[in-house]
Structures are given as structure tokens and as C-alpha cells.
Amino acid sequence: DLPVYYSVVVARMLLERSLGDVALALADALTSHRDWGRNDALTLCDALAQYGYADRAHQLLEQRDSTAGDWWIPSVQFYLARTYGTLPHERRLQLLSEAFARDSTDPPTLFYAAFYADSLGNRDRAIVLYERLLFYDPSNAAAANNLAYILAERGERLAIALELATRALDADSTNPSYLDTYGWVLHKLGRYAEAGKYIERAIALSERPSATLFEHLGDNYSRLGVADKAHFWWQRALEADPSRTYLRARLR
């Protein structure tokens, strides 16, 4: 008889204590609750997937869809599939189509679709989706950041990219991803002295800085004509991601 939110919290606690069977029984009961909404479903299914019950999470959502037909279910299913590597690519695309058919203006669905398109290398599609998302949700910092980064990578509409990156950084000035994007846009604009400060701060604030951050800083030092520092950061990038074999040519 607990409210749905507290039941979800209890289910997660049970999972943390390796009481999966009890947590699943509670999850089964929750799916038939009339107040089981999108955020509750996302929190519960995310927890189930984290503890090895991703397939069961999908089953619960399908069960709920067959009885209640909540408009948000395909979107949550797609999130789980993308995040935890479940379901084949064709099924993921089908879920996106179903999600858009139910609500083509839903910001989370637009974000999932844009991010997925970008991960598949379809940046034209990602740009369209991020722009649509920002039309409906102008304050979405993650979408503004991601769109700014794509535009910077392509060297397109850099003034707009800078405005988007500024919007994201204003929302969270300590986010390493936002700092790097802002610095990278400045780099593409030729403002190398400014760019380096933001990329260095992104590295300093990252728990585990990525090879991309190291490479960006190396590229920026190269543009500034500081060869030794450029080589240092390119070497760090190569060590972090040995697949970036093209960096070996820069290090010669």
C-alpha cells in the first residue's frame, strides 16, 4: 500500500541487498498500479537492468503497455535497449518509430533518437532531432551541448554553436563535457588562447579524462605553436585510446 515512488525506492534497496526475487515480485505489482508513471517506470526499470534483470524490465513494460497503453512506454524501452545493449538494432528503430507515433514532440524521446543517430554516424539526422528538441525544450542543456559539438566538429554555423555551448555552460559551469565543447567551439573559431583554458578545466574536473579531451588540448597547443605540450597531450590521448593510431604521425 506504499505510494508508487516509495515502492520503487524499496525495490531498488531489495536489489542492492541481492533480494532479486522479492524486488521482482514488487515490480510485478507496481506495473498494474494506476499511478505508475514514466519517471517511476524509468527509475525501476533502470535499477532492474543495472542488477541484471534487463529482460524482465522489458517484459514488465510490455505487460503494462498491453493493459494501460501508456504513451511513454516505447520511449522508456528504447532508453533501456540503448543504455544496456539489449534488443537488436531493428527493434530499437521500431521502438523509436512507435514512440514518435505516440508523441513526436516529447523531449526525452527526441534526445534518445538524436543521441542514437549520432552514435551511428548519422549526424545530419542528429542535428535535425536536436534542433527539434530545442524548439520544444530550449532549456535542455545536454541537447544544446551535443548540437554545439556536432556543429563544431563539422565546422558549420560556429556562431550558433558558440551560443548553444554558452547556453549549456551557463546551466552547469563545472560539467567537463560542456567545458570541452565550449573550448572546442572556441578552437574552431581560432580563439586558441581562450579555448585552452576551458579544455584544461574540463580535464581537471573529469574523474577519468577521455582520450578526446587529451587530443583536443594537444590540437590546441599545436595551433598555439607549443610543440612540446602538443606532443605531451597527444601521447596521453594515444595511451588512453591506442586505437587512435593517426596520432603516431603527429608525434613523429
Instruction: Identify the residue whose cell numbers are 523531449.
Output: 107
Q: Give residue 247's domain range.
A: 208-252
Task: State whether 121 and 171 are in the same domain.
Answer: yes
Task: State whether 146 and 70 are in the same domain.
Answer: no
pLDDT in tens, 146-183: 999 999 999 999 999 999 999 999 999 999 999 999 99
49 inside domain: yes
19 inside domain: yes
94 inside domain: no
pLDDT in tens, 25-54: 999 998 888 888 999 999 999 999 999 999
The four Cα atoms 176, 179, 181, 186 give a dihedral, to 10 degrees, of -150
Task: State whether 15 and 66 are in the same domain.
Answer: yes
1 inside domain: yes
Domain count, the chain: 3
153 inside domain: yes
CA-to-CA dists, residue 18 to 14, 45, 48, angstroms: 6, 16, 11
Distance CA 151, CA 170 (A): 19
Task: State whether 111 and 68 are in the same domain.
Answer: no
> What's residue 96's pLDDT?
95
Give the DSSP letter of residue 243. T
Q: What is the mean pLDDT of residues 202-213?
A: 97
> What's residue 1's pLDDT?
62
Task: State whether 39 and 120 are in the same domain.
Answer: no
Task: State whether 69 and 139 are in the same domain.
Answer: no
With a CB cutoff of 8 Å and minimum separation 6, the contacts of 117 are 123, 125, 126, 129
Which three three-digit cell numbers place residue 174?
563545472
The predicted model scores a pTM of 0.90
